[in-house]
Amino acid sequence: MLNAAARSLSVLADAARRAGAMLLVFFAALTAGAGWYAATALRVDTDTSAMLDETLDFQVRAKALRAAFPEIKTDVAVVLRAPTMDEADAFAGALAARADANDAAFDGAFAAAADP
């Protein structure tokens, strides 16, 4: 039994030695195929809500929140700090005006103090 295994490995090693270039091409093609498969088929889902049971209380509430406010994933909130409320309101209005002017980056802007 051991003699047959040793003979088989010897024949395999001899064939690999004789056809080294072809074996190199074979393994290069195999590596390229595995790389292509990994790049096109393997995916990582980093959505933590998909990892947990949908029937958990906070998952149900989060689903209701997303249904009520579908744009919540793309909203950006800006918190301003200024020495006075008037300065903060003025800056918020100017920032909202700049964001409204940049249609390529923003769909719209809302400043509570500027748009009562």
Q: 89 with 113: CB under 8 angstroms?
A: yes
Average pLDDT of the chain to the nearest whole number:
87
End-to-end CA distance of the chain, in Å? 89
Taking residues 58-81, what's their average pLDDT? 86
Q: Indicate the range of 7-11, 27-31, 72-76 predicted with least confidence.
A: 72-76
Identify the pLDDT of residue 1: 64
Q: Where are the domains of the chain?
A: 2-41, 48-101
Question: Is 95's pLDDT higher than 80?
Answer: yes
Q: Which residue has the tokens 């409204």?
A: 100
What is the pTM (predicted TM-score) of this model?
0.42
Question: Is 109's pLDDT higher than 90?
Answer: no
Question: Is 29's pLDDT higher than 90?
Answer: yes
- Whole-number Å distance between alpha carbons of 1 and 113: 87
